[in-house]
C-alpha cells in the first residue's frame, strides 16, 4: 500500500480564527476518502491548504513522497493534483472545450493544444457535455457548470482529485449520474477526496471518512464506524435532522 | 544651516498646501471607498473648481471664500449628474469600464473647457496679506485655504458619522449587498457619494486658484497628486487622505532643500509605486 | 476551404496593413503617407497593448512608458553613439522588454485598479526621472544631427524608409498577437483573464505567464518609439511619455474589441480616422475632444465588448472566423 497523500498536524489560522487544528490523516492510493462536518467546520479550508491556495502555520503535507507544504497550486496541479470548487469558477468567455483544454494543457499531463483538444472531447463525452463543447462556459446552467468543473479536473489526468460538494444543487437523477461518474473515475486509478453534505452518498461511496468540527478532527474511520461514533452524532446534534439522516443511512 | 533656514521658510507653506491636497485626495478616496471606482474625471473637476473661483471673484465680484458656498453645491450636482449619466451603468462592470467611462467624462470636460477658456493660464489675484513668524512668511490665502480644508474635512466627518445619509454611505461602502437588503436605496447613495467626491474636488480647485495660476489642464497634475496621496493614506480612507496630503505637502517643501525641485515628482511617484507594492491599503492603515 | 477559414483571422488584419502601406504610393501624396504612418503606428501599439489588456486582462494605463523608454534608449544610441537605425530599433525593443520584465516581477502582483494605478505611477516616475537624466538631455531631450539622415539617402528617403519599417512593425505586432492568441501560452493568458485563481489551480503558472505577456506587449512599442523619434528628429520627455496617449490606446483596443486579433486594428483605424476628421472639421474642431469623449462613453456604456466582440457574440460562424 503506497501513501499518495499524508497530512500531518496541519493547523491553519485566519487572524484569531482557528480554522484547522492539528488535522492528520494518511491517504493510500486508490481510495475514496470522504470529508464531512457541519457548515464552517473547515472542510474547504482543508482543501485549500492541501492544494496550496493557503499555507498552513503548522504541520506538513506530503504528496507522492514529496513535502509540498509551501508549494503553490500550479506546481501541485502539475504534480497531479486536481480539484473542483464548491462555488463553480467557469472561465466564462471561453468555450466549454477551451475550459477543459486549460486543464489538459497546464495540469499533470502538460499536453500540446492539439492533443489537449482531443482529451477535452473525450472528457466532455464522459461528463456528457459534448453537445455544449462550442458554447461559452458562461451560458451553462449550474448543474452543467459542476460537470464542467469535473471535466477540467479530469482532463489533467490527475493522481489525486479533490471534489468540493459536486452533488450540491443537483436533482436526484443528476446525483445518481454524478455518483456513478465518481465511481468510474476511481476505477481509472484516481484517488479521490470528496467533501459532501449528502450523507447517503458519502456513506455509500467512501472507503473511509474523516469528520471535522470547528476545525478539529473528531473522528476517522470506515462509514460504519463513523455512523456509530458518539462524538460524530454529538457534533451533528446541533442539526438533529442531519443526525437522524446519518443514522438512517447506516 | 542654510538648508535649515530654507526648510523653516518653506515647510509651513508646504504643510498649509498639504491641507488643500488632502481635500482633493479625500474626494477621490471617498468615491473609491464607496464604489471601487477610480474617478479619472477628478482632474478636470478640480480645474472647474478653479474656474468657478475665477468666475465668482473676477466676473461677479464675490469674495472667493463666500463663493465656495456657490461652488460646492454646483460641484455636488455635477457629480450626481456624472454618476447618473456615466458611472451607474458600469458600476458592477470590470474596472476598465468605469476607468474609461470616467475618462470619457474627463475628455468631455477638457474639450468644452478648452473651447470656453482656451488652455492659456488664468489668475485669481486675491490678496489676503501675510503673517510673518520669525524667518517664515505665511500667505493669508494659504492660511485661509488650510482653514477651509479643515472645515471641509470636519463637515465631511460630521456628515458621515452624524447624519442618516452619511451613515447610509458608510453602510454601502462597507457592504453594498447587505445595505440593500436593509432597505438602503444604494443607487441614490452611490450618486450622493460621487457628488460629494466631486464637490471636494471642486472646493480644492477653488482654493488652489486663490494662490496659483491655472488653466483647464491644471487639474491633471492635482489628480495625479491625489492618486499618490490616496495610495499613501489608503484608498477609501478620508482621514488617511488628509494625513497623506500633509505628508506630500511637507515632502514638496523638504526635497527642494536638498536637491533640485525637478526631482520632487521622481520621489513622489517612486514612493507611490513603493506604497502600492508594500502597503496597498495605505501607510496609515485603512479599510480592509 | 477549412484551411483557408483557419487562417482568415490573420489574413484580414495583414490585408488591412498591406492596404495602408500601398495607399500613399497609389495616391502619391505626402499627407497620405503621414496619415497612414499614424494609423500603422497606432495599430502596432494597440495590438501590443492587447496582449496584456485583451488576453491577460490587466489594464495598463501607462503602456506608453515602453514607447518612451525604448525610444529614448534607441534614439540615444542613434544620435550619440553612432549606432545604425536597425541596431537602435533592436536596442529600443530589447530595453523595453527588459524594463517590462523587471516591472512585471514587481507590479503584476497587484490586481484590478491597483495595477492600473501602478502603471500610471511608473509612467510618471519614468517621465520625471528622464527629465532629470543628463545623459538623455534632461528636460530638453535629444535632437538628431541632420547629417544622420544622409546615411539613409537624405531626409526624404529616410522618411520613406521609416514608413515601410512602421508597416513592417505593424505586421510583426499582428503576427505576434495572432500566434499568441492561437497558442497554448495564449490559452493560459485567457484563463488568467477569466479567473486567475481558477487558472492557477488548473496549473497555469500565472506569475510567469503574466510577466511574459507584459514583456511581449512592451517590445514593439519600444521599437516604434525609436522609429517615431528618428522620424521626428528629436525627443523630449513630454513627447515620450504622454499619459493621454496611453489612454487613447486603451480606447482603440476597447473600440475594436479587446481580446481579439482584429479588434485593435479596427479600433486604431476608427479612432485615428475619427480624430483626423474631427480635428480638421470646422464644426467640431474646437470641441473635438468632447465629441471623442462622448463617443467613447457611448461605447463603454452600450457596447463594452467592442465592435469585433459584438459581432462575435452574434454568430458562431463569426466567432470562428474572427480570431
- Nearest-CB residue to B104 (from C120, C258, C300): C300
Lowest mean pLDDT among A91-100, A151-160, B27-36, B252-261: B252-261
User: Which pLDDT does position B239 carry in this prediction?
Assistant: 84
Question: Between these two residues, B257 and B72, which has the higher pLDDT value?
Answer: B72
Determine, yes or no, domain membership for C276: no
In a domain, C139, yes or no: yes
Q: For chain C, what is the domain count?
A: 1
Q: Which residues of B touch C294 (CB under 8 A)?
A: 104, 108
Instruction: Using a CB–CB cutoff of 8 Å, tell me whether C25 touches chain A.
Output: no
Structural domain tally of chain B? 1
The rounded mean pLDDT for chain B is 88
Query: What local confidence, expressed as pLDDT, does residue A1 receive?
Result: 56
What value does the mean pLDDT take over residues B191-204?
Answer: 95
Q: Is residue C147 part of a domain?
A: yes
Q: What is the mean pLDDT of chain C?
A: 89
Nearest CA in chain C to A99: C191
Instruction: Give contacts of C129 with chain B, Cβ < 8 Å.
Output: 266
The pLDDT assigned to A238 comes to 61
- Beta sheet of A3-14, edge-to-edge order: A66-67, A58-63, A3-14, A17-28, A216-221, A208-213, A32-36, A191-195, A160-164, A81-83
Minimum mean pLDDT range among A68-77, A112-121, C17-26: C17-26
Q: Is the pLDDT of residue C241 over 90?
A: yes
The whole-number pLDDT of residue A248 equals 57
Tell me the backbone φ, ψ of residue B37, rounded to 5 degrees: -115, 130
Q: Which is more confidently placed, B256 or C51? A: C51
Containing structural domain, residue B178: 2-117+136-278
At residue B79, the pLDDT reads: 96
> What domains does chain A contain, in order, with CATH numbers?
1-80+159-169+189-250 (3.40.50.300), 87-157 (no CATH)
Q: Is the pLDDT of residue A235 over 80?
A: no
DSSP per-residue letters across chain B: -HHHHHHHHHHHHHHHHHHHHHHHHHHHHHHHHHH----TTHHHHHHHHHHHHHIIIIIT---HHHHHHHHHHHHHHHHHHHIIIIIGGGTTS-HHHHHHHHHHHHHHHHHHHHHHH-SS-B-------EEEETTEEEEHHHHHHHHHHHHHHHHHHHHHHHSHHHHHHHHHHH-HHHHHHTT--HHHHHHHHHHHHHHHHHHHHHHHHTTS-B-TTTHHHHHHHHHHHHHHH-TT-HHHHHHHHHHHHHHHHHHHHHS-GGGHHHHHHHHHHHHHHH-TT-TT----
- Residue C111 — pLDDT band, cuts 50, 70, 90? confident
Which C residues 215-254 touch B at CB under 8 Å?
Answer: 243, 247, 250-251, 254
pLDDT at B248: 92
Arithmetic mean of pLDDT, B161-184: 89
User: According to the model, what pLDDT value does residue C1 have?
Assistant: 44
CB-CB neighbors (< 8 A) of A145 in chain C? none
Q: Tell me the average pLDDT across C248-267.
A: 90
Interface of C with B in 159-198 (CB under 8 A): none
- pLDDT band for A170, please (50, 70, 90 cuts): confident
Of the partner residues C110, C250, C287, the one whose CB lies closest to the CB of residue B276: C110
Mean pLDDT of C166-170: 95
Residue B51 has pLDDT above 90, yes or no: yes
pLDDT of residue C99: 97
Mean predicted confidence (pLDDT) in B21-34: 93
Q: Is residue B113 part of a domain?
A: yes
Q: B87 lies in a domain?
A: yes
Looking at the predicted structure, is the pLDDT value of residue C2 above 60? no
Per the domain annotation, does B123 fall within a domain?
no
C89 is a domain residue:
yes
pLDDT top residue among B99 and B134:
B99
In chain A, DSSP finds a helix count (H) and a strand count (E) of 10, 10
* Mean pLDDT, residues C92-108: 95
**Above 70 in pLDDT, residue A224?**
yes
The pLDDT assigned to C213 comes to: 97
**Whether pLDDT at B286 is above 80:** no
What local confidence, expressed as pLDDT, does residue A250 receive?
43
Quote the pLDDT of residue C69. Answer: 97
The CA R_g of chain C, rounded to the nearest whole Å, is 19
Task: Give chain B positions within 8 Å (CB) of C56.
Answer: none
Mean pLDDT of B164-183: 89
Contact flag C59-B228 (C-beta cutoff 8 Å): no
pLDDT of residue A246: 59
CA dist list (Å): A65 to A68, A69, A208, C209: 9, 12, 21, 28
Question: What is the ipTM metric for this complex?
Answer: 0.90
By C-alpha distance, the chain B residue nearest C306 is: B97
**Residue ranges making up the domain that contains C99:** 2-245
Residue B210 burial (C-beta neighbours within 10 Å; 0-12, 13-18, 19+): buried
User: For the ranges A69-78, A195-204, A238-247, B73-82, which has the lowest average pLDDT?
Assistant: A238-247
The pLDDT of residue B237: 79
Q: What is the pLDDT of residue C222?
A: 97
In a domain, B283, yes or no: no
Which CATH number covers residue B164? Answer: 1.10.3470
Model confidence at A245, pLDDT cuts 50, 70, 90, reads low
Rounded to an integer, the average pLDDT of C267-292 is 84
Residue A68, pLDDT > 90, answer yes
Which has more confidence, C70 or C296?
C70
Of C112, C132, C258, the CB nearest to B266: C132
Mean pLDDT of C7-11: 83
- Long-range contacts (CB closer than 8 Å, 24 or more residues apart) made by B147-154: B148/B65, B148/B68, B148/B203, B148/B207, B149/B19, B149/B20, B149/B22, B149/B23, B149/B204, B149/B207, B149/B242, B150/B19, B152/B23, B152/B26, B152/B200, B152/B203, B153/B22, B153/B23, B153/B26, B153/B238, B153/B239, B153/B242
pLDDT at C5: 65
Q: Which residues in chain C are closer than 8 Å to A112, comparing Cβ atoms? A: 184
CA distance C309 to chain A (A): 11
Burial class of residue B125 in the structure, from the number of CB atoms within 10 Å of its CB (0-12 exposed, 13-18 middle, 19+ buried): exposed
Could you read off the pLDDT of C207-222 as tens digits, one per residue?
Answer: 999 999 999 999 999 9
B152: in domain: yes
Tell me if B126 is assigned to some domain. Answer: no
- For residue A241, the model assigns a pLDDT of 63
What is the per-residue pLDDT for A242? 63
Amino acid at each position: 500500500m503506497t501513501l499518495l497523500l499524508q497530512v500531518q498536524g496541519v493547523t491553519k489560522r485566519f487572524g484569531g480564527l482557528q480554522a484547522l487544528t492539528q488535522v492528520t490523516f494518511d491517504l493510500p492510493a486508490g481510495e475514496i476518502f470522504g470529508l464531512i462536518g457541519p457548515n464552517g467546520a473547515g472542510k474547504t479550508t482543508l482543501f485549500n491548504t492541501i492544494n496550496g491556495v493557503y499555507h498552513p502555520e503548522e504541520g506538513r503535507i506530503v504528496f507522492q513522497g514529496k513535502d509540498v507544504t509551501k508549494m503553490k497550486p500550479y506546481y501541485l496541479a502539475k504534480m497531479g493534483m486536481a480539484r473542483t470548487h464548491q462555488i463553480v469558477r467557469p472561465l466564462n468567455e471561453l468555450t466549454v472545450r477551451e475550459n477543459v483544454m486549460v486543464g489538459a494543457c497546464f495540469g499533470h499531463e502538460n499536453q500540446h493544444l492539439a492533443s489537449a483538444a482531443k482529451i477535452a472531447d473525450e472528457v466532455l463525452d464522459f461528463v456528457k457535455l459534448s453537445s455544449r463543447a462550442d458554447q461559452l462556459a458562461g451560458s451553462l446552467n449550474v448543474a452543467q457548470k459542476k460537470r464542467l468543473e469535473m471535466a477540467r479536473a479530469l482532463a489533467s489526468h490527475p493522481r489525486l482529485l479533490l471534489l468540493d460538494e459536486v452533488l450540491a444543487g443537483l436533482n436526484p437523477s443528476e446525483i445518481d449520474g454524478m455518483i456513478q461518474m465518481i465511481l468510474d473515475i476511481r476505477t481509472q486509478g484516481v484517488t479521490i477526496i470528496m467533501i459532501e453534505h449528502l450523507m447517503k452518498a458519502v456513506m455509500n461511496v467512501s472507503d473511509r471518512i474523516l469528520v471535522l468540527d470547528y476545525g478539529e478532527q473528531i473522528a476517522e474511520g470506515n462509514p460504519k464506524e463513523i455512523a456509530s461514533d458518539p462524538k460524530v452524532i454529538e457534533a451533528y446534534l446541533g442539526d438533529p435532522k442531519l443526525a437522524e439522516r446519518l443514522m438512517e443511512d447506516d | 544651516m542654510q538648508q535649515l533656514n530654507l526648510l523653516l521658510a518653506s515647510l509651513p507653506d508646504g504643510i498649509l498646501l498639504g491641507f488643500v491636497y488632502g481635500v482633493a485626495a479625500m474626494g477621490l478616496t471617498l468615491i473609491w471607498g464607496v464604489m471601487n471606482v477610480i474617478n479619472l474625471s477628478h482632474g478636470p473637476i478640480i480645474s472647474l473648481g478653479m474656474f468657478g473661483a475665477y468666475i465668482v471673484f473676477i466676473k461677479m465680484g464675490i469674495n472667493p471664500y463666500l463663493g465656495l458656498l456657490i461652488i460646492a453645491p454646483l460641484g455636488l450636482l455635477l457629480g450626481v449628474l456624472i454618476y447618473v449619466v456615466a458611472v451607474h451603468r458600469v458600476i458592477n462592470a470590470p474596472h476598465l469600464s468605469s476607468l474609461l467611462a470616467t475618462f470619457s467624462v474627463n475628455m468631455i470636460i477638457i474639450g468644452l473647457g478648452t473651447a470656453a477658456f482656451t488652455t492659456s493660464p488664468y489668475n485669481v489675484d486675491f490678496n489676503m496679506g501675510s503673517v510673518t513668524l520669525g524667518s517664515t512668511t505665511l500667505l493669508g490665502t494659504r492660511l485661509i485655504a488650510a482653514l477651509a480644508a479643515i472645515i471641509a474635512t470636519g463637515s465631511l466627518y460630521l456628515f458621515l458619522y452624524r447624519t442618516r445619509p452619511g451613515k447610509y454611505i458608510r453602510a454601502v461602502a462597507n457592504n453594498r449587498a447587505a445595505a440593500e437588503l436593509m432597505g438602503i436605496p444604494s443607487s441614490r447613495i452611490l450618486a450622493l457619494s460621487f457628488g460629494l467626491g466631486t464637490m471636494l474636488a471642486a472646493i480644492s480647485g477653488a482654493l488652489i486658484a486663490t494662490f496659483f495660476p491655472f488653466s483647464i489642464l491644471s487639474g491633471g497634475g492635482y489628480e495625479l497628486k491625489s492618486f499618490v496621496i490616496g495610495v499613501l493614506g489608503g484608498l477609501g480612507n478620508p482621514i488617511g487622505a488628509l494625513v497623506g496630503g500633509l505628508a506630500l505637502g511637507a515632502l514638496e517643501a523638504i526635497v527642494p532643500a536638498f536637491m533640485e525641485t525637478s526631482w520632487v515628482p521622481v520621489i513622489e511617484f517612486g514612493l507611490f509605486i513603493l506604497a502600492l507594492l508594500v502597503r496597498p491599503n495605505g501607510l496609515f492603515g485603512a479599510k480592509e | 476551404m477549412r484551411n483557408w477559414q483557419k487562417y482568415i483571422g490573420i489574413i484580414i488584419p495583414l490585408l488591412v496593413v498591406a492596404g495602408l502601406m500601398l495607399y500613399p504610393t497609389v495616391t502619391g501624396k505626402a499627407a497620405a503617407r503621414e496619415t497612414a504612418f499614424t494609423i500603422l503606428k497606432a495599430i502596432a501599439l494597440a495590438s501590443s497593448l492587447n496582449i496584456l489588456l485583451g488576453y491577460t486582462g490587466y489594464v495598463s494605463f501607462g503602456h506608453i512608458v515602453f514607447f518612451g523608454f525604448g525610444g529614448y534608449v534607441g534614439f540615444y544610441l542613434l544620435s550619440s553613439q553612432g549606432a545604425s537605425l536597425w541596431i537602435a530599433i533592436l536596442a529600443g525593443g530589447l530595453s523595453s522588454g527588459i524594463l517590462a520584465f523587471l516591472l512585471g516581477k514587481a507590479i503584476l502582483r497587484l490586481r484590478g485598479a491597483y495595477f492600473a494605478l501602478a502603471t500610471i505611477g511608473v509612467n510618471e516616475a519614468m517621465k520625471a526621472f528622464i527629465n532629470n537624466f543628463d545623459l538623455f538631455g534632461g528636460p530638453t531631450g535629444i535632437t538628431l544631427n541632420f547629417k544622420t539622415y544622409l546615411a539613409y539617402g537624405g531626409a526624404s528617403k529616410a522618411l520613406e524608409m521609416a514608413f515601410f519599417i512602421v508597416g513592417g512593425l505593424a505586421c510583426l505586432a499582428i503576427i505576434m498577437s495572432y500566434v499568441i492568441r492561437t497558442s497554448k501560452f495564449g490559452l493560459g493568458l485567457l484563463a488568467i483573464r477569466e479567473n486567475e485563481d481558477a487558472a492557477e489551480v488548473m496549473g497555469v503558472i500565472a506569475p510567469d505567464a503574466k510577466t511574459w505577456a507584459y514583456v511581449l506587449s512592451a517590445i514593439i512599442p519600444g521599437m516604434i518609439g525609436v522609429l517615431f523619434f528618428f522620424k521626428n528628429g528629436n525627443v523630449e520627455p513630454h513627447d515620450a511619455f504622454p499619459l493621454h496617449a496611453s489612454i487613447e490606446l486603451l480606447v482603440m483596443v476597447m473600440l475594436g474589441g479587446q481580446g481579439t486579433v482584429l479588434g485593435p486594428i479596427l479600433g486604431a483605424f476608427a479612432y485615428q480616422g475619427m480624430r483626423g476628421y474631427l480635428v480638421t472639421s470646422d464644426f467640431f474642431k474646437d470641441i473635438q475632444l468632447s465629441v471623442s469623449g462622448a463617443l467613447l462613453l457611448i461605447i463603454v456604456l452600450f457596447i463594452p465588448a467592442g465592435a469585433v466582440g459584438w459581432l462575435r457574440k452574434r454568430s458562431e460562424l463569426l466567432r470562428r472566423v474572427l480570431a
